[in-house]
Amino acid sequence: MNLSGRVACITGGGGHIGSAMAEGLAELGAAIVLLDVDQASCESTAGRIESEFRVPTLPLKLDLADEKELRETPWIILDRFRRFDILINCAALVGTSQLQGWTVPFAQQRADTWRLALDVNLTAPFVLIQASADALAASGHGSVINIGSLYGVAGPDMRLYEDTTMGNAAAYAASKGGLLQLTRWLATVLAPRVRVNAISPGGVWRDQPEAFCRRYISRTPLQRMGTEQDFVGAAAYLASDMSSYVTGQNLLVDGGFTVW
């Protein structure tokens, strides 16, 4: 598996999963573009990747709610690298996001937060893919990978959250479910020159309360929560020519959580 000469762009590249995927693709030789609202984290991650893997990197501060910035991004990438091969939409408002009316009981969840989540988690990938489609097609190896969630395909087991301050946002599930359907839609519309697939992670360990972790693990066949490294192989596979006949698919990397 070799990505030498190709250019990969990862939104949320300064975050845990995004940076792990970026490192995995860099190890295979891809130049890396990191997009993140946290400029310091983005620059730090890019510097570390460039130093360790000796590949060109480009950190860009990006507000996913700003359509103008999203549409300018492919042109910035092309100006720097002259090509654009792989787009990973990883950035999202998630369960740990600090928002009002987010992971609270359903009766307290807020419409303005719902709209923000759909803007960031669903509309931003739509806009960025639309703006990038021609460049990805021209590369000859165009691959889009959308990061979904097990909650895009299954309802939450609220028993997992009992006696904790954790919760599960309706807007998160709806936006991830929408992203998975957008993946299938784009797979037909952008074919045959661009492949579009998704990876749906299961629960990732983030120092959650012991009671939650115990319950989650007890109903997961592989008997553990996920780590960032669990998703790197899936991203490398879908980004590379090893998956050249794969499009429109959602690869669940959840330890078997959704089997039951």
Residue ranges and CATH numbers for the domains of the chain are 7-156+167-206+228-259 (3.40.50.720)
* Lowest-pLDDT range of 9-23, 96-110, 172-186, 222-236: 96-110
Using CA atoms, how far apart are residues 240 and 21, in angstroms rounded to an integer? 13
- 3-class DSSP assignment, residue 251: strand
Q: Which uninterrupted H or E stretch holds 34?
A: strand 31-36
- The whole-number pLDDT of residue 135 equals 98
Using CA atoms, how far apart are residues 81 and 58, in angstroms rounded to an integer? 10
Residue pLDDT, tens place only, 124-143: 999 999 999 999 999 999 99
Mean pLDDT on 42-50: 95
Cα 30 to chain centroid, rounded = 18
Inter-residue contact 110 to 167 (CB < 8 Å): no
Q: How many CB atoms lie within 10 A of CB 54?
A: 9
Closest C-alpha to 12, from 72, 75, 88: 88
- 3-class DSSP assignment, residue 167: coil
- Asked if residue 96 has pLDDT above 70, the reply is no
- The whole-number pLDDT of residue 164 equals 92
